[in-house]
Amino acid sequence: MISFKLLVLRVLFTLLFVELVLTLVTDEEWARYKARHKKRYGQEDRYHRWLYEKRVQAVANHNKLYSQGRSGFRMGLNKFSDTNLRPLYSRRTAIPAPPEPSTEEVTKSANYKSYDQITGGIDWRQYGYISAVGDQGTECLSCWAFSTSGVLEAHLAKKYGKLVPLSPKHLVDCVPPPNQGCNAGWVSVAFNYTRDYGIATKEFYPYKRKNEECRWDPRDSAGTLWGYVTLTSNNERELAEVVYNIGPVAVSIDHLHEEFDQYFGGILRIHSCGNTKSDLKHSVLLVGFGTHPKWGDYWIIKNSYGTEWGESGYFKLARNANNMCGVATLPQYPLV
């Protein structure tokens, strides 16, 4: 007779096998995925399919937790589901972070509210200061240019009452070293360039996912800044005050995690996230914050992965959660 222990093992194996079969990717599904995202592979096809199958399983496992109320965010399949972004973003580590002297301080107006005076939250998208979500492309590490142009256009729109989308491509092509165009860069370096040379509109200098020769005449500038503020590191209360009272802030995060790649909606928490300056690999635009009745405080952040990623190109990140993913490690905004 079969022992009870052996019977239990067989049942568990059967359940595991059934679960794997249910998430197995068919040839037709793999072909549809590649067609949708315009991907073509030769000898590497099996490798990318293997990555995709792993992501299919990971998404299914995580969303089971979400449906049980054990996680506050959902995951989904997207254009990153068959790609390992880690080798690509390792280029960022080759560009040392520039020093960030606090040459300017936060200017507080007469009606500036302290953190304890703020009730609710804010979402600067509702004021018409935030442009449409862009797509940097998987082959170009230009997130720094998108966050720089995004925060600058928001503050110019707030000051002058008109939103004029600015050009990340201008910054990719023209900002000098240590920034390296599609091979990554830092927001503060782009701020300094824009202070000296201005910036083009998105219409005048449209985006392409590659490095090209700089073709810029400062006489065509659509805007500039006279300085920038680097906030106190790891101070989420100060960061919230500035976002509420002054406007959007460019921040950098540790994003090299499967939960971020496959994020689909909700309040993101990644317990393995780093929050030191050396962990920061991706620049984004913080446009607001709020509080969920169950999952707590969160930041509202604009990404540059296109509108099919996340919540129409945005994500919510846990706030007041020990500086989740380094969101408060290097916050900066321009003075216009």
Can you give the pLDDT at residue 13? Answer: 42
Whether residue 238 is found in the same domain as residue 102: yes
Token digits of residue 280: 């920061």
The total of structural domains in the chain comes to: 2
Residue 41 is given by DSSP the state -
Domain membership flag for residue 78: no
Can you give the pLDDT at residue 17? Answer: 38
Domain membership flag for residue 59: yes
At 46-97, the pLDDT tens digits run 999 999 999 999 999 999 999 999 999 999 999 999 988 787 776 666 677 7
CATH number of the domain residue 232 falls in: 3.90.70.10
Dist CA 232 CA 247 (whole Å) = 16
Per the listing, tokens 């004029």 go with 164
Give the torsion through C-alpha atoms of 199, 205, 206, 210, to 10 deg. Answer: -90
Which residue stretches of the chain have pLDDT < 50?
Answer: 1-2, 4, 6-22
Can you give the pLDDT at residue 9? Answer: 44
Owning domain of residue 48 = 4-72
Residue 7 burial (CB count, 10 A): 11
Q: What is the DSSP string of 195-233?
A: HHH-B-BTTTS---SS-------GGG--B--SEEEEPPT
Domain membership flag for residue 275: yes
pTM of the model: 0.89
**Residues carrying an active site annotation:** 143, 282, 303
Can you give the pLDDT at residue 94? Answer: 65
At 112-135, the pLDDT tens digits run 999 999 988 999 999 999 999 999
Can you give the pLDDT at residue 220? Answer: 79
Can you give the pLDDT at residue 90? Answer: 66
